[in-house]
Chains A and B, each alone.
Chain A
Amino acid sequence: MRAFAKLFADLDETNKTNEKVRVLKEYFTSVTDHDKIHTLALFTGRKPKRQINATFVRTWAMEMAGIPPWLFEESYQVVGDLGETIALLLPRNTSEQHKSLTEWIGEMNALANMDEAGRKQWLTDAWASMSQQERFVFNKVLTGSFRVGVSQNLIIKALADISGLDAATLTHRIMGNWDPNTFSFSQLMQEQDASDDISRPYPFYLAYAIQETSDQQKTAEEMEESLGDPANWQAEWKWDGIRAQAIYRDGKIFIWTRGEELSTDKFPELHGFLKELPDGTVLDGEAICFSDGTPLPFNVLQTRIGRKNLSKKILEESPMAFIAYDCLEYAGEDIRHLPLSERREKLEELQSKTSFPEIFRLSPVVDFSSWEDLYDLRLLSRENHAEGFMLKRLESTYQTGRKRGDWWKWKVDPLSVDAVLMYAQKGHGRRADLYTDYTFAVWDGDKLVAFAKAYSGLTDKEINQVDYFVKRNTLEKFGPVRTVKPQLVFEIGFEGINKSNRHKSGVALRFPRILRWRTDKKIEEADTIETLKNFLG
């Protein structure tokens, strides 16, 4: 644990990529293989199951620190991270520990068979034996909230340097369903892939936005300049569902969503078509709610995804389809190295044989001969239930991760309104102890009605300025939330809008964010609830 805590601290202590890779390599070459694989699991979001309820963790920490609950909560608001708050509040350690990461994780898993008193004893003993940094990292692992400010790419780079394997191979190998208790580091590092995991997905190929923000619109001429001859490109609508990889191997189906979550059971409607695919097929596409030949708004899917049990009612209200746009494995062969045009042929062939054409759909290729055509079509995205276009070079291979060059997303500009800052709350992580989480309001007659929360879109400097304003213009405090003097106006962008009975404003926005601070506007010039409702169409 000491080495792991030090790794975390060392990574925290530098902002330089090369230095981070060096620190990772040093760590990976100095700890046991067990610790290596556990570290890799933690760094790629494979957390051990949480064995102690967070409320107990809090309560025992307060007792040990000797502070009242309200002060613990206030401290948490200041720090913005539970594991760190506890690490800071506990008295200095009275002993030392020498257990490895693997041993600690083993003990955490063994808690499942322990009663409450036993768990409490174990946890308070553990805390008493750790330095502040060890406690912090330990708490993060224990509470299932371990995150690290290192991208997977850097870890892959460090491992690739150590092993001599190439990065794309490693990226693929660490995908999927492995468990650090059974999958070993030597298996991962073998020359030949030693995994027999038939569920393992391929890393998703992700696109960058060609138009970074709505401020920087690309004209047809600029598109021509950046991308060249339109004949080399395939355009598809960008669907507003969930990116998913559907796998059929050895008679078994697996559906992975982009967050590397195995979600097969969430989409029973898709099972039928997957089971009749030829063995060894992997498709990339969009899981999306679909009815009467038309995609349904994202919030229908969102409601469904949030449910633990898929009731009959839910299944009726939100039927699923799969809009396929790529084929990654065909007849058991990885075909990601083939050009898109060839992969598309295989995809079309598979789709033509399905007996579920209403569910297994092809993402239509949009016909266009010039960038002007596409520019005009893009303005009709919302009518087509899409978020804009995906542009893919016909010759492109299926790459690993987010890459520039061959795939681009060209999104439709967001809808927007001018709104007044009404409530503010402190953020977390990098934004701890700063007012960065805002609620915005528009006019309803002579009253302001809150309609959206937004966390992002301001620069660090602007955040500091708004924080300064909030701290000096608070009208009321409700727990961590402050009501601020209505004075600041912001342009709020969003991707879509739906009616909502759960919100006072009567509307729910999709992806609200701050587009810009309208320092030029007075609150009287902010938009009204009618403006918002007009977007409902």
Chain B
Amino acid sequence: MPGKPLLEFNDNGIYCAAGKFYIDPWKPVDDAVITHAHSDHARWGSKNYLAHHLSREVLKYRLGAEINLQTVEYGETVFKNGVQISFHPAGHIIGSAQIRVEYKGEVWVVSGDYKLEDDGVCTPFEPVKCHSFISECTFGMPVYNWKPPLEVHAEINRWWQKNIEEDRASVIVGYSLGKAQRILQHLDMSLGKVYTHGVIENTHEALRRNGIQLNPTTRITPQSNKDEVRKGIILAPPSSVGSPWMRRFYPYDFGYCSGWMALRGAKRRRAADRGFVLSDHADWDGLLQAIDATGCETVYLTHGYTAAFSRYLAEIGYDAHEAHTLYGGDEAVEEDSSTVELVNEEGEVIQPGEGAAEI
């Protein structure tokens, strides 16, 4: 097809000129279509947002209740200037979607972030046929091969049990939107109560407003009884690691849940007592399988190991390209790609400009 491609990368984000809208723009635009509510994909300041309806409350919590937001179901079709848009499950977090764009018989899919395993919390990934696929590749190196997630959840429960027996608090760390719910829903609730850091509880409240059923949790406040809290398990975001907020639960064991825990170096760097390899992104085989299932000819790789992964795809016969986006940046880690939520000792978020330095 001659002329402009249906989707292109410009300074603001992924742009559809025919439909005059952006997908996951990193600068404020008129019309933003959002794959999911993580902050490197859903940014503040656009005039109109279109997202999956399970992202509604979290987007409002994160971007402001006043945003102009339209939500849709998976599979529902929306037209913008004659371009057909639909949302399809990405399996990344609750409300995450791949976005299918069709115009004059040409189909593109923007993956957002995705994983193939059913995590038991969000709607599982469904492959969507397309001509061109814009894919993430956060873990696009063959050293990343996830274990079955249920094995990891069983490890987490065993670890919690052991900490109880040895009279240590359990602090489990994961990103507040996505990982925290996944951890929570697989905890063995017969072992004890689940306590949450304020940032995570705020997210849970937003999800509950959206009708999501989550296991019961208790917010940690300055009034919380420390001895009681120490008998349960504490769900905390990465930003709380090493903070006075966390230290007050001492003695504790701290477990970190992330795909990066697959590498010893990364685990040692975070000085976690336990690294649980639990990721909401596709591993190497998952990425290859997902790309194959689209039946696409052309692949654009956004964030992750884009250089190596696109080279490999080209060698196995795809028309593969590196795309430069601001999602997490080149080889950046999850903590980079999320806004750093800085919390004070009570676990409340410190707004930027309140004297806290941001990395």
Q: Which residues of A contact B (CB under 8 A)?
A: 12-16, 65, 67-68, 70-71, 74-75, 78-81, 84-85, 88-89, 149, 428-434, 460-461, 464-465, 468, 471-472
Contacts A84-B264, A431-B265, A468-B336 given; indicate if A13 touches B142 (C-beta within 8 A).
no
Q: Taking CB as reference atom, which chain B residue is nearest A427?
A: B265
- Are A429 and B265 touching (Cβ within 8 A)? yes
- Are A89 and B315 touching (Cβ within 8 A)? no
Contact check: which of A88, A431, A465 meets B269 at CB < 8 Å?
A: A431
When each residue 326-345 of chain B gets 1 if its CB lies under 8 Å from chain A and 0 otherwise, what string results? 00011110001000000000
Chain B residues whose CB sits within 8 angstroms of the CB of A68 once the complex forms:
312, 315
Chain B residues whose CB sits within 8 angstroms of the CB of A65 once the complex forms:
142
Nearest first, the 9 A-B pairs at minimum CB distance are A432-B265, A88-B143, A430-B268, A74-B308, A471-B330, A75-B143, A80-B265, A430-B269, A78-B141
Report how far A71 CA is from B330 CA in the complex, Å.
18
- Are A432 and B142 touching (Cβ within 8 A)? no
- Are B273 and A78 touching (Cβ within 8 A)? no
Chain B residues whose CB sits within 8 angstroms of the CB of A430 once the complex forms:
265, 268-269
Chain B residues whose CB sits within 8 angstroms of the CB of A12 once the complex forms:
264, 267-268
Q: Taking CB as reference atom, which chain B residue is nearest A14?
A: B273
Report how far A78 CA is from B140 CA in the complex, Å.
11
Report how far A454 CA is from B322 CA in the complex, Å.
32
For B262, B267, B331, which residue has the most chain A Cβ atoms within 10 angstroms? B331
Report how far A468 CA is from B315 CA in the complex, Å.
29
Contacts A75-B143, A471-B330, A472-B330 given; indicate if A433 touches B312 (C-beta within 8 A).
no
Chain B, 125-146, CB within 8 A of any chain A CB: 141-145
Q: List 30 A-B contacts (CB under 8 A).
A: A12-B268, A13-B273, A15-B273, A16-B273, A65-B142, A68-B312, A68-B315, A70-B311, A71-B142, A71-B312, A74-B141, A74-B308, A75-B141, A79-B143, A79-B263, A81-B265, A85-B143, A88-B145, A149-B268, A429-B265, A430-B268, A430-B269, A432-B264, A432-B265, A432-B266, A460-B269, A464-B359, A468-B336, A468-B359, A471-B331
Report how far A194 CA is from B47 CA in the complex, Å.
83
Q: Taking CB as reference atom, which chain B residue is nearest A92?
A: B145
Separation in Å of the B40 CB from the closest CB of chain A?
14
Contact check: which of A13, A428, A431 meets B274 at CB < 8 Å?
A: A13
Contact check: which of A15, A84, A431, A471 meets B271 at CB < 8 Å?
A: A15
Separation in Å of the A245 CB from the closest CB of chain B?
33
Chain B residues whose CB sits within 8 angstroms of the CB of A429 once the complex forms:
264-265, 268
Chain A residues whose CB sits within 8 angstroms of the CB of B308 once the complex forms:
71, 74
Separation in Å of the A93 CB from the closest CB of chain B?
13
Chain A residues whose CB sits within 8 angstroms of the CB of B267 once the complex forms:
12
Chain B residues whose CB sits within 8 angstroms of the CB of A428 once the complex forms:
265
- Are B265 and A461 touching (Cβ within 8 A)? no
- Are B269 and A81 touching (Cβ within 8 A)? no
Separation in Å of the A472 CB from the closest CB of chain B?
6
Separation in Å of the A337 CB from the closest CB of chain B?
39
For B142, B275, B311, which residue has the most chain A Cβ atoms within 10 angstroms? B142
Report how far A65 CA is from B145 CA in the complex, Å.
12
Q: Taking CB as reference atom, which chain A residue is nearest B326?
A: A472
Q: Taking CB as reference atom, which chain B residue is nearest A67?
A: B142
B305 interface residue, CB < 8 Å from A? yes
Chain A residues whose CB sits within 8 angstroms of the CB of B253 once the complex forms:
14
- Are B143 and A78 touching (Cβ within 8 A)? yes
- Beyond the given pairs A67-B142, A71-B312, A429-B265, 4 more chain A to chain B contacts, judged by CB atoms under 8 angstroms and listed by A's residue number, are A16-B273, A68-B315, A80-B265, A460-B269
- Are A471 and B264 touching (Cβ within 8 A)? no
By secondary structure, the B interface counts as mixed
Separation in Å of the A91 CB from the closest CB of chain B?
9
Chain B, 248-279, CB within 8 A of any chain A CB: 253, 262-269, 271, 273-275
Report how far A191 CA is from B184 CA in the complex, Å.
54
For A433, A434, A465, A472, which residue has the most chain B Cβ atoms within 10 angstroms? A433
Contacts A75-B141, A88-B143, A468-B332 given; indicate if A432 touches B263 (C-beta within 8 A).
yes
Report how far A71 CA is from B145 CA in the complex, Å.
15
- Are A465 and B264 touching (Cβ within 8 A)? no
Chain A residues whose CB sits within 8 angstroms of the CB of B145 once the complex forms:
88
Chain B residues whose CB sits within 8 angstroms of the CB of A89 once the complex forms:
142-143
Report how far A460 CA is from B142 CA in the complex, Å.
27
Report how far A290 CA is from B263 CA in the complex, Å.
47
Separation in Å of the B264 CB from the closest CB of chain A?
6
Q: Taking CB as reference atom, which chain A residue is nearest B268?
A: A430
Chain B residues whose CB sits within 8 angstroms of the CB of A461 once the complex forms:
359
Separation in Å of the B128 CB from the closest CB of chain A?
28
Chain B residues whose CB sits within 8 angstroms of the CB of A81 once the complex forms:
264-265
Report how far A448 CA is from B155 CA in the complex, Å.
52
- Are B312 and A471 touching (Cβ within 8 A)? no
Report how far A80 CA is from B359 CA in the complex, Å.
24
Report how far A432 CA is from B141 CA in the complex, Å.
14
Chain B, 274-333, CB within 8 A of any chain A CB: 274-275, 305, 308, 311-312, 315, 329-332
Chain B residues whose CB sits within 8 angstroms of the CB of A431 once the complex forms:
265, 269
For A70, A430, A460, which residue has the most chain B Cβ atoms within 10 angstroms? A430
Chain A residues whose CB sits within 8 angstroms of the CB of B336 once the complex forms:
468
Chain A residues whose CB sits within 8 angstroms of the CB of B330 once the complex forms:
471-472
Contacts A13-B274, A15-B273, A71-B312 given; indicate if A79 touches B265 (C-beta within 8 A).
yes
Separation in Å of the B50 CB from the closest CB of chain A?
30
- Are B264 and A78 touching (Cβ within 8 A)? no
Separation in Å of the A432 CB from the closest CB of chain B?
3
Contact check: which of A14, A74, A78 meets B263 at CB < 8 Å?
A: A78
Report how far A81 CA is from B267 CA in the complex, Å.
14
Report how far A471 CA is from B312 CA in the complex, Å.
21
Report how far A465 CA is from B340 CA in the complex, Å.
14
Separation in Å of the B183 CB from the closest CB of chain A?
18
- Are A433 and B265 touching (Cβ within 8 A)? yes
Chain A residues whose CB sits within 8 angstroms of the CB of B269 once the complex forms:
430-431, 434, 460
Chain B residues whose CB sits within 8 angstroms of the CB of A67 once the complex forms:
142
Report how far A184 CA is from B121 CA in the complex, Å.
55
For B142, B265, B305, which residue has the most chain A Cβ atoms within 10 angstroms? B265
Separation in Å of the B227 CB from the closest CB of chain A?
21
For B267, B308, B329, B359, which residue has the most chain A Cβ atoms within 10 angstroms? B308
Q: Taking CB as reference atom, which chain A residue is nearest B331?
A: A471
Chain A residues whose CB sits within 8 angstroms of the CB of B268 once the complex forms:
12, 149, 429-430
Separation in Å of the A73 CB from the closest CB of chain B?
10
Contacts A75-B141, A429-B268, A465-B359 given; indicate if A471 touches B332 (C-beta within 8 A).
yes
Separation in Å of the A434 CB from the closest CB of chain B?
7
Separation in Å of the A139 CB from the closest CB of chain B?
12
Contacts A88-B145, A464-B359, A468-B336 given; indicate if A433 touches B329 (C-beta within 8 A).
no
Separation in Å of the A55 CB from the closest CB of chain B?
20
For B143, B145, B305, B312, which residue has the most chain A Cβ atoms within 10 angstroms? B143
Chain A residues whose CB sits within 8 angstroms of the CB of B331 once the complex forms:
433, 471
Contacts A78-B263, A432-B263, A434-B269 given; indicate if A472 touches B329 (C-beta within 8 A).
yes
Chain B residues whose CB sits within 8 angstroms of the CB of A84 once the complex forms:
263-264
Q: Taking CB as reference atom, which chain A residue is nearest B253?
A: A14
Separation in Å of the B335 CB from the closest CB of chain A?
9
Chain B, 219-263, CB within 8 A of any chain A CB: 253, 262-263
Separation in Å of the A216 CB from the closest CB of chain B?
24
